[in-house]
Structure 1
C-alpha cells in the first residue's frame, strides 16, 4: 500500500504539476513570449516611426533648400530678363512708333480718300443738280424770251414793215439819184 500510496502521491504530484503548475507556467511562458513578440514589434514600429520621421524631416529640409534655390534662380532669371528687356525697350519703342506712324498714315490716307470720294460724289451730285437747274433755267429763259418776243411780235412786224418801207424809199431815192446822173 505504501507503494500504491507512493504511486498515488507521485501521480498526484505529476497531475498537480501538470495541471496546476505546468499549464500555468506554460501559459505564463506563452504570455511572456507573446509579450516579447509584442514588445519587439512595438520596438520595431517605434524604430520605423523614428526613422520615417527623421527621413521626412530630412526630405522636408532638402525640399526647402531646393525650393529656396529655385526661388533664388527664379529671382535671378527674372532680374536678368528684366534687364535684358529694359535694354530692348528702345528698339521695341522704335518698332511701336513705326507701327503707330504707319497705322496713323494708313488711317489718315483712308480718311482722306473716303472724304475725297464723298466730296467727289457730292460734287457730282451738285453738278448734276446745277446742270438740271441750268437746263430748267435755259428752258425757262428760252420760253420767257420767246413769249416776250411773241408778245412783241406785232410791234416788231410793224417796225419791220416800217424798215422795209424806208428801205424801199431809200432805194427809190438812190435809184432817182443815179438815174439823174
Structure 2
C-alpha cells in the first residue's frame, strides 16, 4: 500500500466518521395528546391558570398585534369596556410565539403614566397573573417534540396605585 493510498484510506475513513457524526435531520411533530396533558396539569396544579391550547404559529419569531387605543385620554370615559373606562385605561397586545402552547396570549399595557383625574398623585401600574404554558423544547423523541410546563407572569390589566416610596439614603 502506497503512502497516497494510505492517506486516501485515512481521509475516506475520517469523512465517514465525520458524516456519520453529523446531526440527522428529522421532521419532529407536535404530540397529538397535548390537550389531555394540559388538562392533567391543570388538575394537579393549584393557583396557576392554564390557558386553553390554540394551534401553534407557523413562524418561530414572536409577533405582536396591538388592539385598542394607545394614547392616554384627557378625561374619564363613560362608555365602553372596563379597560377604557378605568382611571388607568389599558390596551392589549396579542403576542404569538410558536414555541409556547397556547401560542397566542394577550397582555395589557397601561395607556397612562398617572391615573386620570388624580392630579398626578397616583400612578398606573400593571397587574400580573401567573399563567402556565407548555414550552416546546428542541428535544425530539420518536419523532415528537418534548414539551415542558413553564410559568409566565402575564400583564392582565392596569390599576391606579400610590406612587412607590423610595428608600431614604443612609448617610454615613
Q: Which of the two has greater helix per residue?
A: 1
TM category, shorter: under 0.3
TM-score when normalising by structure 2: 0.22
TM-score when normalising by structure 1: 0.22
Q: Which of the two has greater strand per residue?
A: 2
Q: Which structure has the bigger radius of gyration?
A: 1
